Amino acid sequence: MVLQEKAGRAAAAPAGVVILRGAVQVVGELLITAGIILLLFVAWQLWWTNVESDARQSEVIKEFAQDLGGAAPAGPAAPDASAVPTGEDFGEPVVSAAPGHAGTIGIMYIPRFGANYTRPIVEGTTSDVLDTLGLGHYGTTAMPGAVGNFAVAGHRQTHGAVLDNIHTLVPGDKIYVQTKDGYYVYVFRNNHIVMPSRTDVLEPVPTLPGTVPTERYLTMTSCNPRFGAEERIIAYSLLDSWRPASAGPPAEIADQVAAAIGKG
Amino acid sequence: MYGWIFRNLPGPLWLRIVTSLVLIAAALVLMVQFLFPWMSEYTQFTDSTIGSASQP
């Protein structure tokens, strides 16, 4: 009797161990799966979103170039541009009305970020614009060339990392904005690191609410630090000069404009 | 769990290997298309805008 009971228990015990072992194994595999999914998420965010956004932004520039059509023939315009003295005065800059949400305003060229740095500027700062289309224009702020503050946001990391190198700008660096009307040349002045709640950097005179603007500002906002979003890094620039589209691109970026528009 | 799934897939060994690769690829596509964009809304280390007035 005693032996039989012992034998029965001995047979039951392995069955319980087998179930327990199976459960531990399933839990372990699920935990490993969760870990792999998190690693894949990091790879997706830091790498794959850039691949996707770069491709989409090239398309946006292509579409913008097609919309320009024959209005700004980049090929023949480039030699003309070098013939025109760069200091020539074209009068008051033309200021267009803002396009609808997600409409393309123009292209930004920042030679400090690399000779091939061309990014679309698109209306709106919602994630559908910033995550795929490029730099987003704050709808409440001025348009390029206007007296006041032309403010744009861009990702520091992920989704194209359009303003990854914003901290490398040196006072005096030129920032070129091309719209259908022409070329607006801004000169970088300073960086400013603020908390995300500082909406006053978007005022017509940055950080001075209620002041009547006399200058034409360009304000760029991005995440700070890199790979973080605890703060915002702001880059202020002032309009230096303006050229109508008919005068051709500034000589300094003639090659980049030809390359960007030539893609169309 | 994965061992059990692999053993219970139909067909010969080569077909089961092909089926598992297809299943893994399908899981990746689902993650990139739906899971990761959803997760990124809860990780705020990519927000580059100022204030909340212009945010959705």
Q: Give tens-digit pLDDT for B8-52.
A: 999 899 999 999 999 999 999 999 999 998 888 887 666 777 774
Segments making up each domain of chain A, as ranges: 50-262
Task: Determine the distance in angstroms separating the CA of A129 from the nearest CA of chain B, rounded to an integer.
Answer: 11
Is residue A127 very low, low, confident or very high in pLDDT (cuts 50, 70, 90)? confident
A159 is catalytic: no
Mean pLDDT, range A26-33, rounded to an integer: 95
Is residue A76 very low, low, confident or very high in pLDDT (cuts 50, 70, 90)? very low
Q: Give tens-digit pLDDT for A141-165.
A: 999 999 999 999 999 888 888 999 9
What's residue A121's pLDDT? Answer: 95
Ranges of H-type helices in chain A:
2-43, 49-68, 74-83, 127-130, 254-262
What's residue B44's pLDDT? Answer: 66
Mean pLDDT, range A186-191, rounded to an integer: 95
Q: Check CB contact under 8 Å for A228 and B43.
A: no
- Please name the residues in contact with B55: beta carbons below 8 A apart, sequence gap of 6 or more: A125, A126, B49
Superfamily name and number for A50-262: Sortase (2.40.260.10)
The closest alpha carbon to A264, from A206, A184, A178, belongs to A178
Question: For all residues of chain A together, what is the average pLDDT?
Answer: 86
In 10 A of CB B30, how many CB atoms? 11
What's residue A163's pLDDT? Answer: 92
What's residue A9's pLDDT? Answer: 54
What's residue B35's pLDDT? Answer: 93
Q: Check CB contact under 8 Å for B49 and A159.
A: no
ipTM of the prediction greater than 0.85, yes or no: no
What's residue A175's pLDDT? Answer: 95
Residue A221 near residue A198 (C-beta atoms within 8 A): no
The closest alpha carbon to A222, from A142, A166, A170, belongs to A166
The reply to whether A227 touches chain B by the CB within 8 Å rule is yes
Is A86's pLDDT higher than 80? no
Q: Give tens-digit pLDDT for A222-263.
A: 988 888 888 899 999 999 999 998 888 898 888 888 888 874
A192 is catalytic: no
Cis preceding linkage at A225, omega within 30: yes
